[in-house]
């Protein structure tokens, strides 16, 4: 009872009454509020003037609502729409819990009346035996019935929690039957689902509270009810008498429907009921399932499959062991025994299940999936550790027999092509769950040579190995990964992460090799690309699960087929594909086994040496030798994966390091350098990470660090030399007597490609140096660093061009700084060495950029060095004062240096904060840089400075000072900086929100500027501010804001699209009535046009469409984008008459005009589009309405109207108009109404508006066209092209047309012409035949003219 009361104690009853009396948006809520208010008013009158909801008690409102509801129950049919029953039921539903908790005796006494009233309401609702009868019933009966069920559920909840409700058992059951249970089979889905949900709510309450007799009442009753329905179906006769065939068919169908409805309920009911109830119902369910799958009637196959699906879905709630947590430690031995018994029965029925679902009926795939789920659920349950002690001996005897049969049964479910791919994926997912369960691994760990577990595992391996057969080929994409998962499970179950002895490894390999080698052999047997890819993915799963070392122990890469032509010792051609799979599948922490460097040194490098030796054999062709060299690189590419958590660094790495040094210098394989450097980087990072997390000072970790430190003295010098060698490598310029330009271009391209490859290798080497340097001895590292600095200083003072050498030395210095292993003395020395390179441009842009990179690393990793009080001023003067000698390529690196310095500032340090104003000028100017990287670095520096300043008001004041700069360039940059700050902080910082109105008011003054870049920045700032300010803050600034934007200067015409976006936002916020008076009189047509579009969009707007607002989350897009503009800003400067640019520029109209007339060659150029539209319009005159006022009526019969008639050839400067039509007149002056066969300009305009509205609805997103529409459009275009070609062929070609000049009026001589253009017309006898004579005469008529000068007609 406590849990039931706690549910409603959180909300005071007075709030419930207030919510009942408050009307909502829907009609039912309004009615409920009216009824509740009337009841409350009556109660308050009885309380003599009470006017507070606190004084209304639950008991009083309950009694009033119950009496009112009881009075509405009559035998006559009522009108649901006018009846208060629905409202009274809702009031009772919310009040009953408070009455039951606060006054249980009253509720117990009134429950009989409550039950009788609810049963009366339900009985008064017209019955419906079929779903088709619902149309005959008045609207609202279903809602009333569902409300009655909900109220009855709450009423029963309130009575069964009472301790003294034993005497109400019959009344409780009567109420439950009449109001809820009788609707379990209702044909109306909503009513049926409501009855199921209400029953489950009662059962959940019974399961969550104390186990008393009353709480068991409804659960026990539901068990008996369910059992009765199931047994009734089970006892139904299998055969029907002929004389009662129709009646029995109807009854059988009803039983099937009733059973299916019950099974859908049992899926949830069996989860919350007790063990005894589950077993009682489960036994009957299994009997029905056995009967269903044994029926061989073809006519009932579909019904049987659907019933079987429902039965197995319900049984899964019993079989699934994950439900044990809800049983609170109860002994589940009986349930385990039941599952074991049904396990055997289900396995025996596998043939019948597969046979029943072979016909491809609806639900066949689901049936097999549920069947597989049931098998897997029982198997994993009985394999788990939580099985009852009484059943463990039985399970130990059953598992060796039934587990392999379970694998076979599940695999057979996907052995044919009748099953859908979705079902195959689901079944294989269940099989993978069985393979990965802990019980399989437990069997593998605890098996003995003489035990039955060995045979069990071998039988399971044999069962899964069947998926390699070609009858599973159509389902290999799902079955082969299961085979790979089994191989991984066996390896991980037999071999612990710490390793194992040789006998255990041999035993594991003997068991797993058939699976893995079967996959490898299958790759050679198939010939289609899809199957090969599936096999590669499956092999990759094995590699990820067991690691490269274990996998290469399972597959001998040197073994190939008998027909394979492979040199002894090299990788087989048949197995070479495995190298790529291993390389792509290995990743960190993908398997529990730590790799051994000794295996790589002995086995992998052994294969690499044999491949290298084979590549130099005289028996191989150049292509075959190249293949062998490629395999050497593939084998070496496994080295980084062996460096992840390597197990034997102490014993193997010293000898391996020498091999690595030699391999990096091997000129035959330059690709090995990047591979080895990557492995060294991974190894160094791994050693350092383990050392940092080592708390217990593990001897192995300490020894690994010591060995790597000793080896670094040999590796680092080699890496340093390699960097110099790579920088010194260039394409030698050979003299040649051939001056062909193509050779020069090829040589340049080759040199560029080589330099790119060398640069990538340099990056890999420097990364390895940075990773290995922290582990090197301090004395050794300090000596290397001094040598680098000495050589750098010598190169900088040399009179020769030492650019490459200086870049190399600076790269080495950068790697050492990045390693964070240098002390302050070394950093100071490096700083003094690169300072002259930054202050001067004598060494070239590459050296200066590299010097800035080194200094950026110093600023990032040694911030305390650059922010020291004695050095900060010097550093800032260096970065800011070097502007005059700054190279273009080094601009963004200088800003990065400043950013890293600023990131190290302390907001409480006054000296550091005083430095910020000196930086702001450089930041603002960089915002206008032509380079994108520089601008982005400037924005990041701007935000970093604002963050460090920790006072956004003061920081904005510094930037606002730049608005008074002399140059428009600086003023524009200042506005852009303010825009970015507003964009980043206005929604998260209240201080910025408060100062934003003042900022906006200040920036608006710049609308008087004449510089275009300033206007653009101001418009961007206004756009950001309008989106960030709330309505009340922005409203006082509207006159200045709108007036400034609409001023007639260079900005308005240039940025009209962005201005219109802002106006749209303002109109949506404040309305047209507020914004229109603020717009100049000559621009009111813009808002009129916008209002018309909005009204039209409102009329045609479909459900769930947007109004065109585009959510722009990126600052650059908001500043530069013209989206959120219904017509791309083309209607900002409207004209008086004619078409608007909106009409011309919309995609739909343009496409229509181009396809109809083929006049416009470009829809992007406005002038061409306007000319195209004018050329396609009518040639008649137009009426000029520029002198008319808005709303005036033009008298067409007035003789003065002819003054306003305007011909098409007149100049019309105004491009925009709100007129929707063009008028045409005949020779007598009558108005012409165009028909369907003419181009209707109004329709063109409407189509343009429709296109614009579509853009508004979609928010400028690309419209997706269906395949059908695309096919129709393609077919129409094809027909048009064919018709045009046909017309072109049938058209009579004029004589001499082939010689006619396209640029002039005469003839021209062209190439490949048989005759001269001025010679003669060749005569052909075929042209004078009877069939072609008429065409020849027409052709001759093109050159023979009559006396009048016209072409001669045929007589």
C-beta of residue 431 within 8 angstroms of C-beta of residue 411: yes
HSE of 1158, CA atoms in CB hemisphere, 13 A = 3
**Alpha carbon 23 to chain centroid, angstroms:** 41
Tell me the C-alpha distance between 305 and 293, whole Å: 8
Nearest to 223 by CA among 236, 206, 235, 238: 206
Tell me the C-alpha distance between 1355 and 1352, whole Å: 9
- From the number of C-beta atoms within 10 Å of its C-beta (0-12, 13-18, 19+), residue 1091 rates as middle
R_g of the chain computed on alpha carbons: 44
The residues facing 1183 across adjacent strands are: 1205
Pairing mode, if any, of strands 1231-1232 and 1224-1225?
antiparallel
C-beta of residue 739 within 8 angstroms of C-beta of residue 649: no
**Alpha carbon 494 to chain centroid, angstroms:** 40
Q: CB neighbours of 300 closer than 8 A, spacing ≥ 6?
A: none
Tell me the C-alpha distance between 545 and 590, whole Å: 6
Tell me the C-alpha distance between 661 and 656, whole Å: 9
Nearest to 612 by CA among 634, 639, 580: 634
Q: CB neighbours of 633 closer than 8 A, spacing ≥ 6?
A: 669, 671, 672, 675
Q: CB neighbours of 1186 closer than 8 A, spacing ≥ 6?
A: 1136, 1137, 1214
Tell me the C-alpha distance between 660 and 683, whole Å: 13
Q: What share of the chain is helix, strand, coil (3-state, %, to 5)?
A: 70, 0, 30
Pairing mode, if any, of strands 1205-1206 and 1231-1232?
unpaired
Nearest to 544 by CA among 511, 583, 492, 587: 587
Tell me the C-alpha distance between 998 and 702, whole Å: 63
Concatenating the DSSP letter of every residue in 64-78 gives HHHHHHHHH--SS--
Considering Cα of 812, then 814, then 818, then 822, what sign does the dihedral take? Answer: positive
The residues facing 1351 across adjacent strands are: 1345
Distances from the Cα of 241 to the Cα of 53, 295, 447, angstroms: 68, 18, 59
Q: What is residue 329's three-state secondary structure? A: coil
**Alpha carbon 492 to chain centroid, angstroms:** 34
DSSP assignment, residue 1300?
A: B
Nearest to 920 by CA among 954, 967, 872, 875: 954
C-beta of residue 196 within 8 angstroms of C-beta of residue 265: yes
Tell me the C-alpha distance between 1244 and 1249, whole Å: 9
Tell me the C-alpha distance between 9 and 1079, whole Å: 58
Q: CB neighbours of 807 closer than 8 A, spacing ≥ 6?
A: 727, 846, 847, 850
Distances from the Cα of 633 to the Cα of 42, 350, 613, 885, angstroms: 93, 51, 13, 46
Q: What is residue 161's three-state secondary structure? A: coil
Token pair of 233 as six digits: 């179906």
pLDDT digits (tens, 9 = 90+) for 892-946: 888 889 899 888 888 888 888 888 888 888 888 888 888 888 889 899 989 988 8
Tell me the C-alpha distance between 484 and 495, whole Å: 17
Q: What is residue 256's three-state secondary structure? A: helix
For helices 421-435 and 392-412, angle between their N-to-C axes, nearest 10 degrees: 150
C-beta of residue 78 within 8 angstroms of C-beta of residue 124: yes
Long-range contacts of 937-941 (CB under 8 A, 24+ apart): 937/892, 937/895, 937/896, 937/899, 938/895, 939/980, 939/1115, 940/895, 940/899, 941/895, 941/898, 941/899, 941/902
**Alpha carbon 974 to chain centroid, angstroms:** 37
Determine which helix (DSSP H) or strand (DSSP E) holds 519, and give its type and residue range.
Answer: helix 502-525
Distances from the Cα of 856 to the Cα of 283, 770, 849, 885, angstroms: 76, 15, 10, 18
Token pair of 1348 as six digits: 């009048």
So what's the pLDDT on residue 1148?
A: 37
Q: CB neighbours of 575 closer than 8 A, spacing ≥ 6?
A: 520, 555, 557, 559, 560
Distances from the Cα of 174 to the Cα of 93, 168, 221, 312, angstroms: 19, 10, 12, 32
So what's the pLDDT on residue 560?
A: 63
Considering Cα of 1115, then 1121, then 1122, then 1125, what sign does the dihedral take? Answer: negative
Low-confidence spans in the chain with pLDDT less than 50: 1-8, 130-138, 239-247, 324-329, 450, 563, 729-746, 1050-1051, 1102-1112, 1125-1180, 1188-1194, 1199, 1201-1203, 1207-1222, 1228, 1234-1262, 1347-1355
């Amino acid at each position: 009872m406590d849990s039931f009361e706690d549910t409603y104690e959180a909300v005071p009853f007075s709030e419930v009454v207030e919510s009942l009396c408050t009307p909502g948006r829907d009609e039912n809520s309004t009615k409920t509020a009216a009824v509740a208010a009337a009841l409350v008013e009556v109660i308050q009158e009885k309380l003599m003037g009470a006017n507070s909801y606190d004084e209304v008690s639950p008991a009083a409102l309950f009694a009033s609502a119950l009496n009112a509801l009881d009075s509405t129950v009559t035998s006559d049919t009522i009108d649901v729409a006018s009846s208060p029953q629905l409202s009274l039921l809702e009031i009772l539903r919310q009040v009953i819990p408070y009455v039951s908790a606060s006054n249980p005796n009253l509720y117990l006494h009134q429950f009989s009346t409550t039950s009788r009233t609810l049963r009366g309401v339900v009985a008064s609702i017209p019955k419906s035996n079929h779903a088709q009868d619902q149309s005959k019933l008045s609207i609202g009966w279903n809602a009333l019935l569902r409300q009655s069920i909900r109220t009855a559920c709450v009423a029963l909840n309130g009575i069964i929690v009472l301790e003294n409700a034993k005497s109400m058992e019959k009344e409780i059951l009567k109420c439950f039957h009449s109001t809820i249970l009788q609707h379990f089979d209702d044909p109306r889905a909503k009513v049926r689902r409501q009855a199921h949900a209400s029953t489950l709510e009662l059962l959940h309450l019974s399961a969550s509270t104390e186990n008393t007799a009353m709480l068991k009442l409804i659960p026990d009753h539901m068990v008996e009810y369910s059992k009765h329905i199931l047994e009734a179906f089970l006892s139904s006769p299998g055969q029907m008498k002929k004389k009662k065939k129709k009646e029995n068919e109807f009854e059988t169908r009803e039983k099937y429907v009733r059973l299916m409805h019950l099974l859908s309920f049992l899926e949830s009911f069996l989860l919350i009921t007790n063990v005894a109830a589950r077993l009682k119902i489960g036994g009957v369910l299994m009997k029905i399932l056995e009967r269903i799958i044994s029926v061989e009637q073809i006519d009932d196959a579909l019904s049987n499959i659907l019933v079987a699906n429902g039965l197995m879905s319900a049984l899964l709630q019993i079989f699934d062991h994950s439900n044990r947590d809800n049983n609170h430690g109860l002994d589940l031995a009986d349930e385990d025994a039941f599952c074991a018994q049904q396990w055997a029965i289900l396995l025996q029925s596998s043939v019948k299940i597969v046979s029943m679902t072979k016909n491809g009926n609806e639900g066949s795939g689901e049936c097999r999936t549920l069947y597989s789920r049931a098998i897997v659920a029982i198997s994993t349950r009985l394999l788990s550790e939580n099985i009852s002690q009484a059943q463990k001996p039985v399970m130990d005897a059953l598992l060796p027999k039934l587990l392999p049969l379970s694998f076979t049964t599940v695999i057979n479910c996907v052995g044919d092509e009748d099953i859908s791919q979705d079902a195959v994926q689901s079944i294989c997912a269940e099989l993978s769950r069985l393979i990965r369960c802990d019980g399989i691994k437990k069997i593998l760990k605890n098996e003995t040579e003489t035990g039955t577990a060995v045979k069990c595992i071998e039988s399971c391996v044999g069962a899964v190995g069947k998926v390699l057969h070609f009858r599973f080929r159509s389902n290999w994409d799902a079955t082969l990964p299961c085979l790979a998962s089994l191989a991984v499970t066996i390896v991980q179950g037999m071999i612990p992460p710490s390793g194992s002895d040789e006998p255990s490894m041999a035993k594991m390999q003997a068991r797993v090799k058939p699976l893995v080698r079967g996959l490898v052999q299958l790759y050679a047997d198939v010939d289609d690309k899809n199957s090969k890819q599936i096999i590669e993915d499956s092999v990759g799963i094995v590699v990820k699960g067991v690691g490269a070392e274990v996998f290469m122990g399972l597959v001998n890469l040197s073994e190939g087929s008998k027909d394979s032509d492979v040199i002894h010792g090299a990788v087989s051609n048949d197995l070479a594909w495995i190298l790529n799979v291993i390389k792509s599948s290995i990743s960190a922490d993908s398997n529990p086994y730590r790799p051994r460097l000794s295996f790589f040194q002995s086995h992998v490098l052994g294969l690499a040496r044999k491949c290298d030796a084979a590549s130099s054999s005289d028996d191989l062709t150049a292509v075959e030798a190249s293949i062998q060299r490629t395999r050497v690189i593939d084998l070496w590419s496994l080295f980084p994966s062996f460096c992840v958590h390597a197990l034997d660094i102490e014993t193997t790495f010293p000898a391996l390091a020498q091999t690595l040094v030699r391999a990096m210098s091997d000129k035959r394989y330059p690709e090995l350098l990047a591979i080895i450097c990557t492995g060294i980087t991974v190894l160094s990072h791994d050693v350092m990470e383990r050392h940092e997390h080592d708390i217990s000072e593990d001897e192995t970790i300490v020894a690994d660090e010591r060995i790597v430190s000793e080896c670094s003295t040999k590796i680092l010098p080699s890496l340093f030399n390699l960097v110099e060698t790579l920088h010194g490598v260039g394409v030698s310029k050979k003299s040649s007597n051939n001056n062909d330009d193509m050779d020069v271009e090829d040589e340049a391209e080759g040199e560029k490609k080589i330099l790119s490859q060398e640069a990538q290798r340099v990056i890999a080497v420097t990364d390895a140096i940075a990773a290995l340097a922290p582990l090197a001895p301090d004395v050794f590292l300090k000596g290397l660093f001094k040598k680098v600095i000495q050589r750098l200083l010598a190169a900088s003072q040399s009179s020769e061009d030492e650019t490459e050498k200086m870049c190399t030395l600076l790269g080495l210095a950068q790697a050492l700084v990045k390693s964070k292993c240098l002390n302050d003395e070394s950093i100071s020395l490096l700083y003094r060495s690169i300072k002259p390179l930054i202050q001067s441009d004598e060494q070239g842009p590459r050296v200066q950029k590299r010097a800035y990179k080194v200094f950026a690393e110093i600023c990032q990793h040694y911030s305390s060095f650059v922010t020291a009080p004695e050095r900060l001023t010097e550093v800032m003067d260096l970065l800011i004062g070097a502007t005059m000698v700054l190279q273009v390529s080094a601009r963004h690196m200088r800003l990065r240096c400043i950013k890293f310095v600023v990131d190290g500032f302390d907001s409480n340090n006054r000296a550091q904060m005083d430095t910020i104003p000196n930086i702001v000028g450089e930041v603002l100017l960089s915002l206008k840089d032509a380079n994108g990287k520089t601008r982005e670095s400037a924005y990041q520096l701007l935000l970093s400075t604002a963050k460090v300043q920790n006072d956004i008001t003061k920081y904005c004041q510094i930037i606002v000072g730049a608005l008074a700069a002399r140059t428009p360039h600086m003023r524009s940059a200042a506005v852009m900086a303010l825009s970015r700050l507003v964009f980043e902080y206005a929604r998260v910082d209240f201080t910025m929100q408060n100062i934003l109105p003042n900022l906006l008011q200040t920036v608006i003054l710049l609308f008087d500027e004449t510089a275009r870049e300033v206007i653009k920045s101001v418009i961007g700032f206004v756009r950001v501010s309008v989106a960030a300010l709330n309505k009340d803050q922005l409203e006082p600034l509207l006159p200045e804001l709108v007036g400034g934007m609409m001023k007639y200067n260079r900005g308005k015409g240039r940025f009209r699209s962005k201005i219109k976006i802002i106006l749209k936002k303002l109109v949506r916020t404040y309305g047209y009535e507020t914004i229109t008076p603020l717009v100049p009189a000559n621009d009111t047509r813009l808002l009129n046009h916008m209002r018309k579009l909005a009204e039209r969009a409102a009329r045609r707007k479909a459900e769930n469409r947007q109004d065109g607002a585009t959510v722009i989350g990126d600052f650059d897009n908001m500043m530069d984008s013209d989206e959120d503009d219904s017509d791309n800003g083309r209607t900002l400067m409207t004209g008086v008459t004619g078409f608007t640019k909106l009409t011309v520029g919309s995609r739909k109209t343009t496409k229509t005009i181009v396809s109809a007339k083929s006049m416009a060659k470009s829809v992007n150029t406005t002038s061409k589009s306007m000319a195209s539209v004018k050329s396609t319009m009518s040639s008649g005159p137009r009426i000029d309405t520029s002198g008319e006022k808005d709303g005036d009526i033009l008298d067409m019969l007035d003789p003065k109207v002819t003054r306003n008639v305007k011909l098409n050839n007149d100049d019309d400067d105004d491009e925009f108009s709100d007129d929707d039509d063009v008028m045409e007149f005949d020779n007598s002056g009558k108005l012409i109404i165009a028909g369907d066969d003419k181009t209707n300009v109004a329709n063109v305009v409407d189509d343009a508006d429709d296109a614009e509205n579509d853009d508004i609805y979609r928010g400028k997103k690309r419209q997706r066209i269906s395949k059908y529409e695309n096919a129709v459009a393609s077919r129409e275009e094809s027909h048009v092209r064919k018709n045009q070609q046909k017309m072109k062929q049938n058209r009579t070609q004029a004589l001499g047309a082939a010689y006619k000049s396209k640029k002039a009026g005469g003839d021209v001589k062209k190439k490949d012409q048989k005759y001269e253009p001025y010679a003669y017309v060749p005569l052909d006898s075929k042209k004078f035949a009877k069939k072609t004579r008429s065409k020849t005469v027409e052709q001759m008529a093109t050159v023979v003219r009559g006396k009048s000068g016209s072409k001669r007609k045929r007589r």
